[in-house]
Structure formats: C-alpha cells, structure tokens
Amino acid sequence: MDNNTCNNNYDGIWLISSAFCVITYNLLQENERYGVYLSSSSDNNLIHHNTFVDNNLGGTSQACDNGTSNFWYDPEVKEGNYWSDWSGRGDYYIDGSACPEDRYPLDEPAEYSTDENQLNFTFTLLMLVVTLLLTRTISKKKKK
C-alpha cells in the first residue's frame, strides 16, 4: 500500500490479521486516533517512508502496533517515517503491546515514490485508449 492520503478518519490505515504487508509513501494526517493501527493478529509488516502529521492529538503516539515482528523502518537503508511530533533526537516510540519503535525517524516528510514502470504503463494504456476511440470515431464517420 503506497502513495495514499488518509486524513480526517478515525484511523488512517487499519490492518487486521494482516501479514507481510508493505506500507510506504503514504500521507497520514489529522486522523482522530492513529495514522496506522496494527491489530494483535498483524505480523511481519514493514512500515517506512510515510508522513505522519497531527494524528491522535493529545495522545502519546501517532501509530499503534499490537502485533509482532513489525518493522517501522526499512532495515536495509535504515530509514523510518516522518513524525510531526518527533523531538528530533532518538527513537520514536509507538503505542501498542508490541512496544514498537521507529529507530530511524526522518527529519523531513517522506517524498512520494514514483515507479517509472508504472508511469510508463499508464501512459501506454492511455495512448491505446485514445487511439481506439479515434479509430472508432473515424470508422463511424466513414460509414455515414
């Protein structure tokens, strides 16, 4: 799940009984409770390069993890998420029974990922549709 905007909800993204999900490059903003909530049956998920802004105002964290073995950072590049309420030093502690933490919080909001292959596919598909519509229009005019 990537490149989504979840704002002004109860929870932004809520995983129940989910495993091996990758949540990246999302904007999670001004949700009443958490930007991301992982239930106790959600395990082995990877959450990184997301931007959390003003979720759970008045609470202690903008996310909650009650699962097991979830990572709140990319262990390969050692980069986590942006948290608008992070102090700028140390880990970012996340609510939940898993006692999770983002060990590598980002100093600035995460930039959206652009998958060049996906963009090329979308453009090619769009051009095909336009070509088919033009061909159909020309064929109808010739028949008249």
Q: Which of 11-15, 18-22, 111-115 has the lowest mean pLDDT?
A: 111-115
Report pLDDT for 118: 47
**Residues 29-85: pLDDT tens digits?**
999 999 999 999 999 999 999 999 999 999 999 999 999 999 999 999 999 999 999
Quote the number of domains for the chain: 2
Could you tell me the two tokens for 82?
């942006």
What does pLDDT average to over the chain? 87
Report pLDDT for 69: 96
Q: Are residues 109 and 119 in the same domain?
A: no
Which residues constitute the domain of residue 125?
Answer: 114-144
Distance CA 29, CA 88 (A): 19
Distance CA 41, CA 118 (A): 32
Q: Are residues 14 and 72 in the same domain?
A: yes
